Structure 1
Amino acid sequence: MNTLNLSALPRETRDTLFLLAVVAWVVGMQVGQIPVWCTALAAGVLVWRTTLVLRGLPLPGWPWRLGLLTIAMAATWATHGTLLGQDAGVTLVVVLLALKTLEMRARRDAFVVFFLAFFTLLTHFFQSQSLLTAAGILIALLGLLTALVNAHMPVGRPPLAQAARIACGMALMGAPIMLVLFLLFPRMAPLWGVPSEDRGRSGLSSTMRVGQIAELVLDDTIALRVRFEGRPPPQGELYFRGPVLSHFDGIEWRPTRSEFPTRLALNSELVVSGEPIRYEVTMEPHRRPWLFVLEAASQAPEVPGTNVRMTSELQWLTDRPMSSLVRYTAVSHTTFRHGPLTPAVALQDHVSLPPGYNPRTMVLAQQLRREHGPGPDASPRIINAVMDRLRTGGYTYTLEPGQYGQHTADEFWFDRRQGFCEHIASSFVILMRALDIPARIVTGYQGGELNGVDGYWTVRQRDAHAWAEVWLQGQGWVRVDPTSAVSPGRIGSLQRLNAPEGALAGAIRNLNPTMVAQLRAAWEAANNRWNQWVLNYTEGRQLDLLKNLGFPSPSWTDLAYVLIGVIVFVSLLGAAWTLWERQQHDPWLRLLQRARTRLQALGLDSADHTPPRELAHRVQQRWGRSEAAQRIAQWLLQLEAQRYSRPGAPDTPTLAALQREFRQLAWPRKDPL
């Protein structure tokens, strides 16, 4: 079997293969974010270019490149419906990077590939700013710098290891500058955009379409991290409130759009009691103006640089979508009451149902009314009866409920008797409304797991949950979680549903589950540190840094002054280091040059390569055996001995002694004595 020996290849071939490998790494990091056809096209072009360079074949002509570019643009338009915007732009950049390698004939073309690849690296942050992404980009950056340094070494056949050492040295020298700019350069809004919503995975949306997903995939990515001050509440009480859905058209639940005048709309009327729970939330970007707080927060969460308001449904909203990592503090009370205590006109919004849907559920509601009697006093008994039905009626919580039809509540209560939290909460609320009990769906996150490495509670997208709120006279809105009746393990610390694992992941977990859990906790703790200290370095933290530096009331002007001062200080430091390095650069040669310059001023010319012994001979020829000439000649011979004599030889003068003696030499006149 023949193996490719890079050291035996011509330099141009070796350098081209290395650059193609780096470009493949840059493109490969985009797989999963770009269309499949784009990945296939870029991979095909890179394989084609590799084959051409290995076989020494000529590059394709412009008709090939123009045809591929036309195909790529047409496919981009067909996929995204435009050639502009974030997704279409990233797709075209990847295609152009791959196609540019097909016309890479000279160093000038290689430089275009270098800088196009640098630009492509930036686009990776559009989708992810995680620690793993940063590590991949760092590898690509060092690879591109190595290729760039190697391209500036045109003579000979320098090894790639040498170029890599120079590139790493350049990166290390630039690291302090990058650190200063990171700490002091004014924070600006993120440049990356909004990825499309994945409708087939667990998580939160502004709407809830029941029964349209036949199989749910648990999303294990992190939604938010929570650090409590003091003892955290029990896991079963960790309800992080999100969007509230009150309008139902038979298929989809949406936020309420009340037709009542503002003066008749429902108010929050929140009343809290008990000990406050203080905590800090680090929320991943979700591109919505939502803040998730533990039920219920009576005061606004402290989000730096953002206006926050609470709706009448206890949902906290910001004035802009959360498209970057955000950290905020909040205070909540798990014991609370909210909503009107007596009937209100606006409650009619929460008992309305579209006609023609779920007829069997309507019959069930009539039956329950007959059994428990009319009036608001019967509502608690009816709710308990429905919860008992869920506990004892053979209902199951599953990731694969199958696709529901038009009458989703009927199918759940009487036919399938299985579903995940959306099916259960929706069917419960529909039944409550059929009983003329005001009810609505609340979505958010429930539970989480404690990371023993850093002490943060980790809430994942798979913890997304839907529960119900019913209105009871004299109590207001009351949380009822029907999923807890079907599957108590979904609420609290018991075993929850897990997504099916692949063969490799299952084998590793079965081999040593404790080790896998510890490694995962350590990795997530490292990611959390990255989030806290890098991604969440906001304007507020910049100003806090100035406070620590002694500014009582820091402003952007102070930040600019500090940045300018640091730049001036670093520049002076660099100039001083350059001067010091110049003085330290081979002081023996510098001393010889001083002697040569002094002799040239006296009329004795010499070349730069003239050794001290030859200079001593010329001094004696020019000025004879005068005392001054003899001292100069003897000093030149001692200078040569200091450089070339055996180390540790006796009577060898030090360089410092020769420098002192040089200053004491008596130099002859320009004319011979």
Structure 2
Amino acid sequence: MKLPLRRSASSRENWTATLPRDTRDTLFLLAVIAWVVMMQVPHIPGWCSALTACVLVWRASLTLRGRPLPGWRWRIGLLLVTLAATWWTHKTLLGRDAGVTLIVVLLALKTLELRARRDAFVVFFLGFFTLLTHFFYSQSLLTAAGILVALLGLLTAVVNAHMPVGHPPLRQTAGIATRLALLGAPIMVVAFMLFPRLSPLWGVPGDGMDGRSGLSGKMRVGQIAELVLDDRIALRVRFDGPVPPQRELYFRGPVLTDFDGVEWKPLRSTFPPHMELQANLTFAGEPIRYEVTMEPNHRPWVFVLEAATQAPELQGLKAFMTPELQWFVRRPVTELVRYRAESHTRFRHGPLEPSLALQDQIALPAGFNPRTLAFAQELRREHGSGPQSAPALIEAALNRLRTGGYTYTLDPGVYGQHTADEFWFDRKEGFCEHIASSFVILMRALDIPARIVTGYQGGELNAVDGYWTVRQRDAHAWAEVWLQGQGWVRVDPTSAVSPSRIGSFERLVAPQGAIGAALGTLNPTLAQQLRDVWEAVNNGWNQWVLNYTQGSQLDLLKNLGFESPSWTDLAYVLIGVVVLVSLAGAAWALWERQQHDPWLRTLARVRRRLAALGIEAGEHATPRELARVASAQLGDELFTQQLSAWLLRLEALRYAPHSPDTLAALQKQFQQMSWPERQATP
């Protein structure tokens, strides 16, 4: 029995070569469009992906079978279906998401009327425009790599459209497209570095808050635990000096005070402004200086190491601090931002003496957690009450967490109405927000002002680029209690349950995918090294490309010698570069014209000399044709024989396999010829 032979690469190329030129080019263009659309699948509705795939498969089938394209009724019908489905999905035909949905479907539908070169060019332009829409959702290095592949594919299709004669292989046209892209790369780099930066470049007003990730401005028990399933990067931090100990890496975020029994929210004080709590921040020791690269979080806050004494230096954004030491900006952060900050890990804040505004920090809703309230009464009987007993009561609660069999876990189950009661007496297990919320409720039941602070704690060092990487899974919740004479004091009850969570690199990690788990099992060190390298490359992309801001442009001018650069200086430099590039292009064109095919230039000289004698042989006449015309019209037989022999040798030099002549020798003989003085006979 004969086994089927595997088709080799050369046979596949031969199969491609047997296709008609139009069929091959159409299939290639459809493949490129499929790649462009596939990158948008995570951001478009499912029906849009399915409809686009069906249209592209339908168009490919019609091409392979040589069937006619569908009529206008089909196209109008599909367009109406698209408009109705877009309206049903997005409730509008305008805006980012609805616009991207429409442009993707229109790109596919345009292939159903791909009959002439004009239609092909429309498809090309729609494809390039669709490529740009990818940056509405992601500007990562992986997205840029995918767009580069699609760009080269579209350029190859454009080159194909400009080579209508013959059957040029795709390898050849792809090579031309790649060379064109490389020739345009220097211009792209100069424009990127000098063209005025618009911020945000890819933001669209009214995009909404869809797709948000990370910490929220409110907290429900169990919410932060969900972030452990998200391994994406939230912050990258580079310290100017030594890195503080792991236990001091608290990146402060939203402070939550109001509690309705189910959810924690920021404070909505009922006191007049002059009676509200003030920051009263004081600090000691040397500051820690660092630089933060924060991923977009679609919220108007920035994260700093506790506690920042000065406003972070953000390009184009002004930060301000609330009395709870949280830093805000005027608009949501929808793009990668980089800022410098300095913090003191030894600090004190808040009032030192009792204040009426502290009543907001001990309020509890009625009808929730009765057993916790009873437990608070027991602690009071054992350790006393009043401000002087607060340290002993706090230590008693922490000691119960240490010795009461409590467990730090990612999956504590679903909590009911009385979350603190279930934690303290029933489940005795939970994630950081279970522990912090139950601890703060107990403190308030003891009449000790307390609140929840959320943010990020810890992180890990990337050994490749030296940046401290803070991920979404490092999201954390801790408590602050108010003590007379000390102000607000950080108390992290999670450290009492699981000291390793705060004091080392140990984290609760979500289950990995099959590939990551297999690689980590076979060689954990290699898996970590590959991850560090990839994240370092992405960080370089973020620092040098995505975070190349207006300030970076002015810094570039400073490096070029401008003392106080302005936008006028930037415009002058850009104009100067454009002029220099234009002059260089003109010089190159002149040089290229002079360096044209020397054989053709020699033949053109013969044609011009014959024209001077009144002999017109045509612009594209071959040497043999010129010899025939000269023999017929020139009266000097000896010169005619000499010129004809020379022209035949020139032709042989071009087309014969092995010619004894050289072009230089033939050119020298041409210069030595004695041309007749008389005009050619009529």
* In the alignment, structure 1 residue 112 sits paired with structure 2 residue 119: no
What is the distance in 2 between the residues matched to 1:275 and 1:64? 73
Looking at structure 2, the residues matched to 214 and 59 of structure 1 have their Cα atoms a distance apart, in angstroms, of 54
- How far residue 6 of structure 1 moved from its aligned partner, in angstroms, is 3.1
Alignment of 1:400-479 (within 5 A): 400-479=411-490
Matched letter for residue 275 of structure 2: L
The secondary structure found in structure 1 opposite 2:500 is helix
TM-fit CA distance, 1:268: 1.0
More displaced 10-residue stretch of structure 1: 45-54 or 300-309: 45-54
Cα deviation digits, residues 457-496 of structure 1 (max 9, x gap): 1111111111111111111111111111122222132421
The verdict on how the C-alpha distance between 1:421 and 1:78 changes in structure 2, with shifts beyond 3 A counting, is farther
**Residue 520 of structure 2 aligns with which residue?**
509
Distance 1:45 1:589, change over 3 A: closer
1:20 aligns with 2:30: yes
**Structure 1 residue 625: Cα displacement:** 8.5
1:301-450 paired onto structure 2 within 5 Å = 301-450=312-461
Instruction: State the SS of the aligned residue for 2:104.
Output: helix
Instruction: Give the C-alpha shift of residue 623 in structure 1.
Output: 6.6
List per-residue Cα deviations over 1:227-277 (Å, max 9, x = no partner).
111211011211111111112222221111212111111111111111221
Q: Distance in 2 between matches of 1:19 and 1:634?
A: 51
Q: Is contact 1:215–1:400 with CA below 8 Å preserved after alignment? A: no
Distance 1:14 1:640 in 2: 37
Q: 1:93 aligns with which of 93, 103, 107?
A: 103
Structure 1 counterpart SS, 2:503: coil
Deviation string 1:563-604 (CA, Å, 9 cap, x unpaired) is 111111111110100000000002343244234324422434
Offset at 1:122?
A: 1.4
- 1:47 shift after superposition: 2.8
Gap change, CA 1:211 and 1:217, over 3 Å in 2:
closer
What is the deviation of 1:386? Answer: 0.9
Shift of 1:37: 2.7
Contact 1:424 1:482 in 2 (8 A): yes
* Residues 169 and 23 of structure 1, relative CA distance in 2, 3 Å threshold: same
1:603–1:670 contact (8 Å) kept in structure 2: yes
**Deviation per CA, 1:506-550, whole angstroms, max 9, x where unpaired?**
122211111111111000000010001100000000011111112
1:9 — aligned with what? Answer: 19
2:184 aligned partner: 174
Opposite residue 459 of structure 1, the aligned amino acid is V
Distance in 1 (alpha carbons) for counterparts of 2:202 and 2:656: 64
Say whether 1:495 aligns with 2:503.
no
Contact kept in structure 2, 1:104 and 1:110, CA below 8 Å: yes
Q: What is the distance in 2 between the residues matched to 1:393 and 1:64?
A: 71
Distance 2:651 2:223 in 1: 91
Give the letter aligned to residue 141 of structure 1: L
Task: Supply the distance in 2 between the matched residues of 1:326 and 1:565 (Cα, whole angstroms).
Answer: 31
Taking the aligned partners of 2:657 and 2:382, their CA distance within structure 1 comes to: 112
CA separation of 1:394 and 1:45: change in aligned 2, threshold 3 A: farther
Q: CA deviation at 1:19?
A: 1.7
Does 407-416 or 601-610 show the bigger shift? Answer: 601-610
Deviation at 1:410, TM superposition (A): 1.7
Q: What secondary structure is seen at the aligned counterpart in 1 of 2:198?
A: coil
1:226 aligns with 2:237: yes
Q: 1:116-142: CA deviations, max 9, x gaps?
A: 222221121122111001001111111
**Residue 240 (structure 1) aligned with residue 227 (structure 2):** no
Unaligned runs of 5+ in 1: none
Is 1:548 the equivalent of 2:571? no
Greater displacement, 354-363 / 569-578: 354-363
How far apart, CA to CA, are the structure 2 residues paired with 1:426 and 1:380?
19
Distance 2:666 2:435 in 1: 89
The whole-number CA distance in structure 1 between the counterparts of 2:586 and 2:54 is: 50
Q: Is the 8 A contact 2:617 2:626 kept in 1?
A: no
Root-mean-square deviation over aligned CA pairs: 3.0
Q: Do structure 1's residue 606 and structure 2's residue 617 form an aligned pair?
A: yes
1:281 touches 1:329 (CA, 8 Å); kept in 2?
yes
Give the distance between the partners of 2:274 and 2:666, measured in 1 at CA: 94
For the residues of structure 2 that align with 1:587 and 1:411, how far apart are their CA atoms? 91
Indicate conservation of the 8 Å contact 2:215/2:224, yes or no.
no
- Could you say what secondary structure the match of 2:139 adopts? coil
Contact 2:362 2:448 in 1 (8 A): yes
Classify 1:137/1:355 alpha carbon distance in 2 versus 1 (closer, same or farther; 3 Å).
Answer: same
Counterpart of 2:456 in 1: which secondary structure? strand
2:302 aligned residue: 291
Aligned to 2:42: 32
Distance 1:305 1:575, change over 3 A: same
Q: SS of 1:562's equivalent?
A: helix
Q: Which amino acid aligns with 2:52?
A: A
- Whole-angstrom CA distance in 1 between matches of 2:578 and 2:283: 52
Q: Secondary structure at the match of 1:436?
A: coil
SS for the counterpart of 2:167 is coil
The one-letter code matched in structure 1 to 2:269 is: S
Distance 2:77 2:664 in 1: 75
Superposed displacement of residue 644, structure 1: 8.2
1:158 and 2:168 matched: yes
Structure 1 residues 568, 299: closer, same or farther in 2, change over 3 A?
same
1:585 aligns with 2:588: no
Cα 1:472–1:656 change in 2 (3 A) is farther
In structure 1, what is the equivalent of residue 541 of structure 2? 530
Deviation (angstroms), 1:354: 1.7
Counterpart residue identity of residue 487, structure 2: G
Size of the alignment, in residue pairs? 667
Q: Residue 613 and residue 536 in structure 1: after superposition, are their counterparts in 2 closer, same or farther (change >3 A)?
A: same
1:52 Cα deviation after fit: 3.2
Which residue matches 2:311?
300
For residue 575 of structure 1, what is the aligned residue in structure 2? 586
CA spacing shift, 1:430–1:653, aligned 2, 3 Å: closer
Aligned residue in 2 for 1:204: 215
